[in-house]
Amino acid sequence: MSHCPSDWKSDRLKDLAAINADSLPADTDPDYEFDYLEISNVDYHGIVDPKAIERLHYEDAPSRARRRVANNCTVISSVRPNLQAVAFANNGRKDFICSTGFNVVQPAEHKLSPKFAYYALISEGARQYFESTAKGVGYPAVDDKDFDSFLVPLPPPPEQQRIAAYLGASCAAIDAAVAAKRRQLETLDSLRVSIIHRAVTKSLNSDAPRRASGGEWFGEIPQHWHCEHLKRFTTRIQAGMTPPTNTPEYYEDGTVPWFAPGSFDGDIDLREPRKLINELARRDGELRIFPAGTVFLVGIGATIGKIGLVSVEASCNQQLVGIVCGHRMHSRYLAYQFKIYEDVIPRIATATTLPVFDQVKTGYLRTLQPPREEQKAICDFLDTKLAESKQIGAGIETQIATLTDYRKSLIHECVTGQRRVKEADLNHVKAHV
């Protein structure tokens, strides 16, 4: 921790709290029933979703479900500092069991305010300490000795309580502001989807005569547009392939972009290939090359239906279907149009262990075809509108990041005494929450 005010003390956590004091014994009745909290359901804000806490019998519970958490101002903190999972258990829930991936901290309240302990454990100083003392490769963890030895700053008890109350009110206000910003992003995303859908199905001319499209997902379309199967507008619809990984030369000094589902980030353009493949794989027939302007559709897996467009010659793995447009279809317009299918394809894909939508089914997707010049005008309109939307979204994301950073710095400054919290400060923040 940073240097604290001269009138503050500090002490090891183990001298201020009982740590992991109560666990389920090995001979627990197999029918014993309890609420179980897994570490994946906690982040640095606390319990993510109380509804996700499972009701289990001991015989059905994972072996890590051992540590008892009493609902009386207990703090649980992940042993893995990279997870930043810390929660304050005093929310009306009865006692529960948590994973051994947590340390359970029960402060001695005459020495350490439980809520102050919570803020001390999520502060930047605590994060730095736990990261520096964690041991292990891959999934480093803080051992009991180092966790017990964490040095907690100790203002006088009344000041601890005042700081905890001030941070509680301040963080609640910050969290509410962040939540409002995230709702703005959701609204912006919905608006973006609506703009795309209207432009690619209704044209930019609201007065154009309309007719039924014959396609379930399009509704009415301009009377002069065509609606046919995708294969009528393409020269090639084909899945990609993965060069054999037992030939390392294919993956060294690569120059050919190779895309996979992880390359899709929601934008219309694909810019981040998963790998660059050596030309040797192309010469050996172990790589399928698609021309610039190919539309890639995710046809297998959790992100099935996602659409992206490449601006350069590229390749892809077998989870993607490459769509090469003919002279009647502008590839960028097709990519924008198929954004409509991102929500449709997951519902109509073959139900197997992994959802599948192959190249044959892709070819039979109903597809709209305005005149080429109208396709181009729609793309120019959408490029401009989505660039504006992206700029607005980036501004909101920056505001969220600023609020999040302020929250972290506020906690750190208060629990280390860099910012002294007076009664007037507490009254002021309460009055404005």
- Is the pLDDT score of 1 beyond 70? no
Q: Out of 51-55, 291-295, 342-346, 384-388, pick the least confident.
A: 51-55
Report how far Cα 316 is from the mean position of its chain's Cα atoms.
24
Chain center to CA of 206: 38
94, pLDDT greater than 80: no
Single pTM value for the model: 0.83
Model confidence at 412: pLDDT above 60: yes
Between 215 and 269, the more confident residue is: 269
User: Could you give the count of Cα atoms lying within 13 Å of 48 in the half-sphere of its Cβ?
Assistant: 11
Q: What is the mean pLDDT of residues 137-159?
A: 93
What is the number of other CB atoms lying within 10 angstroms of the CB of residue 7?
Answer: 9
**Amino acid (1-letter code) at residue 306:** K
**pLDDT tens per residue across span 207-264:** 899 999 988 889 999 999 999 999 999 999 999 999 999 999 999 999 999 999 999 9
- φ/ψ of residue 260, rounded to 5: -145, 175
- Cα separation, 24 vs 30, in Å, equals 11
- Read off the pLDDT band of 2 (50, 70, 90): low
CA angle 130, 26, 34 (to 5 degrees): 75
Question: In this structure, are strands 315-316 and 256-259 parallel, antiparallel, or unpaired?
Answer: parallel
The reported pLDDT for the residue numbered 44 is 67
Q: Residue 393 — φ and ψ, nearest 5°?
A: -60, -40
Please give the radius of gyration of the chain, using alpha carbons only, rounded to the nearest integer.
28
Q: What tens digit of pLDDT does each residue of 287-333 get?
A: 999 999 999 999 999 899 999 999 999 999 999 999 999 999 999 99
Contact between 110 and 61 under an 8 Å Cβ cutoff? The reply is: no
Strand partners, 77: 86, 103
Considering only 88-97, 106-115, 155-164, which range has the smallest mean pLDDT?
88-97
Q: Which residue has the tokens 């954004």?
A: 339
Looking at the chain, how many residues does it have? 433
Look at residue 91 in the predicted model and tell me its pLDDT: 57
Asked if 120 and 152 count as a contact pair (C-beta separation under 8 A), the reply is yes
Look at residue 138 in the predicted model and tell me its pLDDT. 78
Could you give the domains of the chain?
Answer: 9-154 (3.90.220.20), 226-369 (3.90.220.20)
The rounded distance, in Å, linking the Cα atoms of 175 and 59 is 39
In the three-class reduction of DSSP (H, G, I as helix; E, B as strand; rest coil), residue 65 is classed as strand
Instruction: Label residue 92 by pLDDT band (50, 70, 90).
Output: low
* Structure tokens belonging to residue 282: 């192309």
What does the pLDDT average to over 18-37? 92
Rounded Cα distance between 286 and 277, Å, is 10
Contacts of 212 (CB under 8 A, 6+ apart): 220, 221
Decide if 153 contacts 120 (C-beta within 8 A): yes
Of 336, 335, 358, 329, the C-alpha closest to 233 is 329
49 has a pLDDT exceeding 90:
no
The span from the CA of 272 to the CA of 120, in Å, is: 40
Q: How far apart are CA 107 and CA 74, in angstroms?
A: 7
CA distances 168 to 48, 324, 430, Å, are 17, 56, 10
Question: What residues contact 95, with CB distance under 8 A and at least 6 apart?
Answer: 68, 69, 70, 71
The pLDDT, as a whole number, for residue 155 is 96
Reference 305, options 318, 296, 317; nearest CA is 296
Nearest to 89 by CA among 118, 124, 56, 121: 118
> Regarding beta strands 220-222 and 210-212, do their DSSP bridges make them parallel or antiparallel, or are they unpaired?
antiparallel
Which pLDDT score is estimated for 48? 67
| Mean pLDDT for the stretch of residues 2-24 | 91
Cα–Cα distance for residue pair 268/342, rounded to 1 Å: 12
- Spatial neighbors of 158 by CB under 8 A, at least 6 apart, are none
> What pLDDT, on a 0 to 100 scale, did the predictor assign at position 233?
96
